[in-house]
Chains A and B, each alone.
Chain A
Amino acid sequence: MKKIMAQAMKEFRLFRRDKLLILLAVLMPIVLMLLAGITGSLRLRNVALLVYDYDNTPLSRTYLETYGAALTFRIVPRRAAESPERALASWRGRAVLIIPQNFERDFRRGVEPTVQLMIDATDSNSATALGNYADSLNTAFAVQSGVIVPPEKGVNLQQRYWYNPGLSDRVYFGTGGLGLMLIIFPALLGALTTAKEYETGTIIQAYASSLRAVQWILGKALLYVVIGLVEFVLCFALGLLVFEFRFPSDPSVLLVATVFYLFAGVFFGMMCGNATGNQSAAIQAVQMGSFLLSLLLSGYLISVRNIPVQIRWISYFLPATHYIQIVRNSILRNAGWSTSLMPMVLLITLSFSFFALNAIQMRKMQFKG
C-alpha cells in the first residue's frame, strides 16, 4: 500500500508540473460534454421547406399554413425560375412541397388531390422522419377542414411517458455524454503517461525497482482515477445545470460504478500505452478503442438493441455500455441496485480484466529477482 501511494505521489508531482495538461484535463470534459450533449439531438426542427404552389387558392394557402405552423418545418422563399430539383441540389432546402393545380377543386369534389413532397434523402433517417411528419400534418389538415370525421367508434391511444414526460433529448444525450467524457480522458491520460515512460526509457527503472507490477499499475492508475473523479463532479454539476439531471435518491450505485468505470478507462489506456510504447500510437489506439467505439456502440447515440447483431457483441466489451446504462438508471429512472446489478457486474468484470491484462503485460517484462 505504501509503495502504491509513493508511486501515485510521484505521478502527481509529474502531473502538477504540466500546467496546460491540468487545464486540459479539467476543462476539456466540460466543454466537450456541453457540445456533445447539445449537438447530438436527432429530432428535426426548422427544416427548410421550399413551396411550389401551382394552385394558389385560399385552400392551398390554408394547407400551407399547417406546414408553416409546425415547428419541424420552416418555409423559405424560393427563386422564381428555379426548378425544384435544382433548388434541392443546391441546398436551398431540405424538402420541396409541390401543390398541383386544381388542388382546391379536387378537394371540394371529394377527389383526393395528390401533393408531392420531394425530400433530400442524403440523410435517409431525417428523410423518413420528414415523410412521416408530412403525412401526419396532412391528416391533421383533413380533420381540421372537416373532410375526415374521426370515427365515433374505435380505439383511442392515451400515452404516458415515464421518466421523461417532456420528451427532452437533453437528458438522454447529457447522460450519454457524461459516460463518454469519463472514458475518453482518463484513458487518454493513462495511455500518455505509460507510453511516455517507454519513450523516455524510464520504464526500465520500474522494471528494475523493487515495485511489483501490480503496485506500479495501481499507483499510476490511482492519480488518474482521482482526476477522473474531479471530472465526474464537474460534469455532473454541468448536467444538473444544463441537462436536467436529477439527483438520485440512492447515489451509491452511481458512485461505485463511477469508480470502477474510471479504473476500467485508465487501465485500458495504460494497456494501449504498454502495447504501443509510443505516445502518438497510444493516442490513436485510445481514440479508436475507447472514443470511437464508445461513441458508436455504447448506446450513447443509438440504443444497443438497434445495432446489427454482427457487431452488437462488441458493445458488451465496452465499459461505456454498462456505465451509461447505470447512469441513466440512477439519474433518470432513479432506480437502485436491483435494476443496475447486471451492468454493474459486467462493468466490474471488465475493469478487472483490463487490470489483469496490464499485470500480465508488465510481469512479462519485469526483471526477476
Chain B
Amino acid sequence: MPAFIRRYLALLAKEVQQLRRNRVLVIQLMLPPTIVLIIFGYALNPKVRDLRVGVVDESVTTESRDLIDALTRNVNFNVTHLYTRVEDAEKALKSLDLDLFMVIPTDFSRTLGRGRMADVQVVIDAVDANTAQIAKGYLEMALQQYNVASISGARAPTSDLRRQIILVSAAHPAPLPGAPDVEAAYLYNPGLVTSWHYVTGVMSIIMFINASLVASALAVKEKETGTIEQLLMTPAQTGEMLFAKASPVFVLMMVVLFLSLLVGMLVFGLPVRGDLWLFALAGALAALAGIGIGIMVATVSKSQQQAQLLTFFVNPPLTLLSGATSPLENMPELFQKLSYIDPLRYMVTIIRGVTLKDAPWSALWPNLLALTAFSIILFSFSAWRFRKQ
C-alpha cells in the first residue's frame, strides 16, 4: 500500500473516531432534513384565503344584498362584519380587524335600475402588496361573475357552480364569451402542489449550509485546541489531511441527501422523474463545494465564534440568490447576474430538473459543469489556504 494511502487511512480513522464521539454533530446533521423539510413544505403556501371583508351597505336594497350574498358565497372571502357607517369600517381596518372593506353607495340600486354602471368602492390594506393585489383580483372576478350572472339575467346554475369550483382550485375566471379561450396546461405539476417547489429548494440549501457549517466547525476546532500544530508536524500532506477531514462529513452529507429525498417522497409525494445518479452527483458536488467554503472560512477565522459567524455571513446570501425560495426573474438585473456566481443556484436547478422535470441532458450538463467547476475551485482554494497556515 502506498504511503499516502496509509497516511490518509490513519487520518481518516482519527476523524471518524472524533466524529463518533461527537453525538451532537450527528444529530445536528440528521435533524434538519426531517424537521425543517416538513415544516417548510407545509408552511410555505402563499395562497391567499379567507380574506376578512367588511361591508358598508348604504344602499340597503335587494340589489345590494344580492351583491353581499355573492361575496359571502365566494370561498376566498369571509364577510365578517356589516357596517352602517364608513367611519366604523375605517376604524376596523386601522385596528387590523379587516383586510378590506367594500362600500356600496346609496344610489347603487338606482343607478343599476337606470341601466348604468354602478360604482362600489373597495379599500384594501395594502401593506402586503402581494396579498392586496390578489384580493383585488378575487374581487374583480367575483364582480364579473356577479355582473354576468345576476344582472344580465343569463343565470345558469350549472355554469355558476363550475365557475366556483374553478375559483377554488386555480382561481381561473371563466372567459367572457367571444374572447379567445386560454387553455392553460400546467406541466410537471398538474396538481399545483406547492410543497414540491420548496422541498426541492430547501433540500439543496440544507446540503450546502450543513456541509459548510460542520466542516468549518471541525477545522477550526483543531486550531482552537492547538492540535493543528501536531497535525502539521506529522508527515501527512495537507491534501491528505483535508481529504481525511472532508471524507466523513461528505459521507454523512450523502446520507442527509437521501434522507431528505426520502422525506420528500414519503411526506410530500415528490416524484423522481429523472436519473437518480444525476441527483446523487449534484448532491455530492454541492457537498464538496459546501465543505470547501466551510474550510475556507475556518482558515480565515481565529475562533469558532468567528468561523460560525462568517459561515452565517456567507450562507444566507447564497441561499437568497439561488432561486430556491423566490423566482430569480423577480430580482433586479444585478442580482440575477450575481446569481451566476452562486454554486447553490446550479444545485437547485439540477435537483429540480431531475426530480420534477426529467430535464434533457443537453440542458443539465452546463449546470453540472458549473457546479463541478465551483466544487473544484472552492476545494482547491481551501486546500491552498490550509497549506498556508
Name A's B-contacting residues (CB within 8 A): 18, 20-21, 24-25, 28, 31-32, 35-36, 38-48, 63, 85-86, 88-92, 94, 103, 107, 110, 112-128, 131-132, 134-136, 138-139, 141-142, 147-148, 151-165, 167-169, 171-172, 184, 188, 192, 196, 199, 276, 278-281, 283-284, 287-288, 292-293, 296-297, 301-303, 305-308, 310-311, 328-329, 332-333, 335, 338-339
Q: A18-B305, A121-B190 are in contact. Are A91 and B45 (CB under 8 A)?
A: no
Structural contact, A45 and B321, CB atoms closer than 8 A: no
Q: Which residue of B lies closest to A176 (CB)?
A: B128
* Residues of chain B within 8 A of A92, CB atoms compared: 363
Question: What are 12 of the A-B contact pairs (CB < 8 Å)?
Answer: A88-B357, A90-B360, A112-B175, A124-B197, A135-B182, A147-B179, A156-B119, A171-B129, A172-B127, A293-B39, A301-B44, A338-B95
| Residues of chain B in range 141-190 having any CB-CB distance to chain A below 8 Å | 143, 146-147, 151-152, 170-173, 175-190
Which of B125, B188, B304 contacts A121 (CB under 8 A)? B188
Structural contact, B359 and A169, CB atoms closer than 8 A: no
C-alpha gap A113/B94 in the complex (Å): 47
Structural contact, B187 and A138, CB atoms closer than 8 A: no
Verify if B139 is at the interface (C-beta below 8 Å from A): yes
* Residues of chain A within 8 A of B183, CB atoms compared: 114-117
| Closest beta carbon of chain B to A354's beta carbon, Å | 21
| Residues of chain B in range 294-344 having any CB-CB distance to chain A below 8 Å | 301-306, 308-310, 312-313, 316-317, 320-321, 325-327, 329-332, 335
C-alpha gap A142/B125 in the complex (Å): 31
Q: A155-B118, A306-B47 are in contact. Are A39 and B320 (CB under 8 A)?
A: yes
Structural contact, B190 and A308, CB atoms closer than 8 A: no
Structural contact, B120 and A158, CB atoms closer than 8 A: yes
Structural contact, B329 and A47, CB atoms closer than 8 A: yes
Which of A121, A125, A154, A157 contacts B187 (CB under 8 A)? A121
C-alpha gap A188/B42 in the complex (Å): 26
* Residues of chain A within 8 A of B178, CB atoms compared: 110, 112, 142, 147-148
Q: Which residue of A lies closest to B201 (CB)?
A: A123
Interface size class, chain B: 35 or more
C-alpha gap A293/B43 in the complex (Å): 10
Closest 5 CB pairs of A and B: A90-B363, A142-B179, A161-B126, A121-B186, A121-B189
Interface centre among A113, A135, A142, A171 (most CB of B within 10 A): A135
* Stretch from B130-138, B261-269, B374-382 that touches the partner: B130-138
Structural contact, A156 and B186, CB atoms closer than 8 A: no
Q: A115-B180, A131-B186, A296-B44 are in contact. Are A90 and B305 (CB under 8 A)?
A: no
Structural contact, A339 and B96, CB atoms closer than 8 A: yes
| Residues of chain B in range 333-387 having any CB-CB distance to chain A below 8 Å | 335, 349, 352-353, 356-360, 362-363
C-alpha gap A20/B345 in the complex (Å): 28
Structural contact, A306 and B45, CB atoms closer than 8 A: yes
* Residues of chain A within 8 A of B217, CB atoms compared: 279-280
Structural contact, B185 and A117, CB atoms closer than 8 A: yes
Structural contact, A115 and B182, CB atoms closer than 8 A: yes
